[in-house]
Structure 1
């Protein structure tokens, strides 16, 4: 999940909603697996020059330190992720979100055939960035490909080029439907989200309706009255069932979420030039 808005206690984001991310780690309704217990991570922006990270290989529902810090930290922008490994080791460096400078990155899904494609994908990462890869996941490799292709300058084009490159490598290795991805990335101000898979059957992704509209629809929900008008949520599964509160990102679409008007547009991978 991603949150952007007025500073808020992390506890209010992770633990209080009816179908919170902690609940989803045990009882996912829309994910590939019901349980996501192979670690978790949160990344948040505060007073420092770069976002902070807290990651652990324990299940999110069973980590008391997460409960402790979430009661004390307020943030205007947070990423949180619960992990179900697709084959790479359960270790801290493989937990999302991933960080580079002021950027955070999360990926839900998989690069199929990653073991066959890994060498070619890694060789495409800019040499100046390669040494900063800490883990062994397909998700972090995709992040560093996007950085290589210009994520910090033009996120939409960079992700399109990274996904296109993976599909091209997959085709050369005979991998069927190599990309399954919902992605969120941020520079601490804007949040970019993507929903795309080669097979056009992508995992779920939702963004919240403008809070003022949701308040008008559901004035009885007290939690809504404590949220600022610029509040935005991005989730794999709605945090609670409220009619009109959630919008599904269409298949093969991307969106930019920032203060003011959000932007949503079709997403198409860009194949490498030969």
Structure 2
């Protein structure tokens, strides 16, 4: 889940929605697994020049520290993720979101054949960036490949090159089509989102309708009045079943949220090695 808008308590975002991310950690409806109990993480922008992160290998539904700090964190941009491991260890460094400088990154999905592709992926990371890798996941390596290919300058192109490289590596090795991903990344000002699969259907990803329109559709909901102008969410699953509120990001697309406005465009990986 990603939130951007006027500053709001993290508690209101993580715990209060009917189908909140905490509820999804136990009762996911659209994911590969129903339970996402292999750790969690949140990242947010506050007073510092870089975002803060809080991660744990505890299940999100059972972490008292998360409840404690969520009552005190007020932020205009929050990333939150609950993890179901696809094979790498359950450890703090493998929990999302991943951070480098001002950037946050989180990924749902997997790189098929990661054991065979990991070394080649790692060797493609810019040497000056490589020491900053903390964990052992495909998700973090995708992030550092995107950083290598210019995430800070042109996020769509950088992610397209990162995914294109992984797909090219799989072709060379004769392994199955590798990438299944929904991704959210941010520099603290804009949020980029991606939905792509090398083969088959990628995981679900939605963004919210303009908050003024949602209030008109559902004037009876007091919770909507607490959300300021420019509020947007990006979610794997809708936080509440409200007609007209959620827009599915098309397969093979990326989008950017900037100052409350959303622009969706086609996403096509490429590699020129």
**TM-score, length-scaled by structure 2:** 0.99
1:197-255 CA distances to partner (integer Å, 9 max, x unpaired)? 01140000000000000000000011111111200100000000000000000000000
SS across alignment from 2:89: coil
| 2:144 is equivalent to residue 127 of structure 1 | no
Q: Please tell me whether the aligned partners of residues 45 and 78 of structure 1 are also in contact (alpha carbons under 8 angstroms).
A: yes
Structure 2 CA distance for aligned equivalents of residues 272 and 101 of structure 1: 27
Residue 92 to residue 260, structure 1, CA distance change in 2 (3 Å): closer
* Structure 2 alignment gaps of length 5 or more: none
Q: Note the aligned Cα RMSD (angstroms).
A: 0.6
CA displacement at 1:260 relative to structure 2? 4.4
Q: How many residues align?
A: 273
1:114-157 CA distances to partner (integer Å, 9 max, x unpaired)? 00000000000000000000000000000000000000010000
More displaced 10-residue stretch of structure 1: 49-58 or 253-262: 253-262
1:79 corresponds in structure 2 to 79
1:237 corresponds in structure 2 to 237
1:176 corresponds in structure 2 to 176
Q: Please tell me whether the aligned partners of residues 109 and 180 of structure 2 are also in contact (alpha carbons under 8 angstroms).
A: yes
**1:139-158 superposed matches below 5 A:** 139-158=139-158
* Structure 1 alignment gaps of length 5 or more: none
Structure 2 CA distance for aligned equivalents of residues 243 and 122 of structure 1: 44
1:22 corresponds in structure 2 to 22
Q: Please tell me whether the aligned partners of residues 200 and 252 of structure 1 are also in contact (alpha carbons under 8 angstroms).
A: no
Structure 1 CA distance for aligned equivalents of residues 51 and 222 of structure 2: 30
1:267 corresponds in structure 2 to 267
CA displacement at 1:261 relative to structure 2? 2.7
**1:13-162 superposed matches below 5 A:** 13-162=13-162
Q: Please tell me whether the aligned partners of residues 195 and 249 of structure 2 are also in contact (alpha carbons under 8 angstroms).
A: yes
Q: Please tell me whether the aligned partners of residues 181 and 202 of structure 1 are also in contact (alpha carbons under 8 angstroms).
A: yes
CA displacement at 1:171 relative to structure 2? 1.0
CA displacement at 1:84 relative to structure 2? 0.2
